[in-house]
């Protein structure tokens, strides 16, 4: 009888060890942290490797115009087209309404980031997960300027290596130039359909007036075109151009750059 009581007592006192479960969770957690650190280090190493082979970016390339060179049968240039249809405008000639429009629709945190925007990248990743790859881009204005200056804008060229180099050059650009200079480079660089490059030439081409005389509505139209110039061409696609202009005005109002009355 005593033996049976002792056996029952031992069984009753045999409780699951909490320490064992805790140790297991700690091991799992530490393993996940270790994997995360390894992935992070590998990512940094790959970024550094790609960045080391990034091309140089000069002010000439930032200011330079796009052009197409036509060659004869001997390989000599006999005509250059495209680059001449541009007019560089100084910062004081660019209306504040146009700057506000570009920033509101393209890169709302332009004055806060350092060339790349982790918040924007995170939003793009989430949007791409929900809506499919390339449903939303994560490039800042600075990155777009780099792309326009030294890289191809074709989607097939948007490789991991190219993105890393683009980010690295954007960081360097932000250290060398002010935000206003970068914005000036950008608006003088963008393609705006009909072989028109830069907002200075676009103002004359579409509205027949100097850039510093355009209205808020006209500024919004120009600011909305660079994302898809041919699709938002007001001559060939007026309805799409109008819808895009209205989207820019909505973005400006949301960004507190204009009032709802001005938007309407």
Asked, for residue 217, whether it belongs to a domain, the answer is: yes
Asked, for residue 146, whether it belongs to a domain, the answer is: no
Q: Name the residue among 210, 166, 156, 168 with its Cα closest to residue 44.
A: 168
264: part of which helix (H) or strand (E)? none
Which of 3-17, 42-56, 164-178, 181-195 has the lowest average pLDDT? 3-17
Query: Is the pLDDT confidence value at 128 over 50?
Result: no
**DSSP sequence for 183-243:** HHHHHHH-B-STT-BSHHHHHHHHHSS-GGG--HHHHHHHHHSTTSTTTT-TTT-HHHHHH
Asked, for residue 95, whether it belongs to a domain, the answer is: yes
Query: Is the pLDDT confidence value at 97 over 90?
Result: yes
Asked, for residue 249, whether it belongs to a domain, the answer is: yes
pLDDT of amino acid 2: 53
C-alpha to C-alpha distance for 136 and 128, rounded to whole angstroms: 6
Asked, for residue 157, whether it belongs to a domain, the answer is: no
Query: Is the pLDDT confidence value at 61 over 70?
Result: yes
pLDDT in tens, 189-224: 999 999 999 999 999 999 999 999 999 999 999 999
Q: Which residue has the tokens 């320490």?
A: 19
3-state secondary structure of 70: strand
Asked, for residue 126, whether it belongs to a domain, the answer is: no
Global confidence as pTM: 0.75
C-alpha to C-alpha distance for 225 and 248, rounded to whole angstroms: 10
| Phi–psi pair at 81, nearest 5 degrees | -125, 155
- What rounded mean pLDDT belongs to the chain? 81
Q: Which residue has the higher pLDDT, 252 or 70?
A: 252
pLDDT of amino acid 12: 52
Q: Name the residue among 93, 98, 107, 229 with its Cα closest to residue 170.
A: 107
The size of the chain, in residues, is 264
Asked, for residue 38, whether it belongs to a domain, the answer is: no
Asked, for residue 196, whether it belongs to a domain, the answer is: yes
Count the domains in the chain: 1
Q: Say which DSSP state 54 is in.
A: P
Range of the domain at 200: 59-117+177-263
pLDDT in tens, 160-195: 888 888 999 999 999 999 999 999 999 999 999 999
pLDDT of amino acid 178: 96
Q: Which residue has the higher pLDDT, 52 or 2?
A: 52
Kindly report the CATH number assigned to the domain that includes residue 98: 1.10.3810.10
**Cβ-contact 207, 218 below 8 angstroms:** yes
């Amino acid at each position: 009888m005593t033996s049976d009581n002792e056996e029952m007592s031992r069984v009753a006192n045999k409780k699951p060890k909490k320490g064992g479960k805790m140790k297991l969770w700690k091991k799992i957690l530490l393993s996940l942290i270790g994997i995360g650190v390894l992935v992070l280090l590998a990512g940094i190493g790959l970024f550094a490797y790609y960045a080391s082979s990034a091309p140089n970016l000069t002010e000439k390339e930032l200011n330079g115009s796009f052009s197409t060179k036509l060659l004869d049968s001997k390989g000599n240039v006999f005509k250059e087209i495209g680059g001449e249809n541009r007019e560089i405008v100084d910062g004081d000639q660019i209306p504040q309404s146009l700057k506000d429009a570009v920033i509101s629709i393209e890169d709302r945190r332009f004055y806060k980031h350092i060339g790349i925007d982790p918040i924007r990248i995170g939003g793009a990743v989430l949007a791409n997960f929900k809506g499919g790859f390339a449903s939303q881009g994560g490039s800042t204005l600075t990155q777009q300027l780099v792309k326009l200056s030294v890289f191809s804008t074709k989607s097939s060229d948007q490789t991991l290596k190219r993105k890393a180099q683009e980010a690295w050059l954007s960081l360097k650009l932000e250290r060398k130039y002010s935000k206003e200079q970068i914005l000036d480079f950008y608006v003088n660089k963008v393609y705006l359909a009909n072989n028109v490059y830069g907002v200075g030439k676009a103002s004359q081409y579409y509205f027949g007036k100097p850039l510093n005389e355009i209205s808020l509505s006209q500024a919004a139209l120009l600011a909305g075109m660079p994302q898809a110039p041919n699709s938002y061409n007001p001559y060939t696609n007026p309805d799409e151009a109008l819808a895009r202009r209205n989207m820019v005005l909505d973005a400006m109002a949301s960004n507190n750059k204009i009032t709802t009355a001005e938007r309407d």
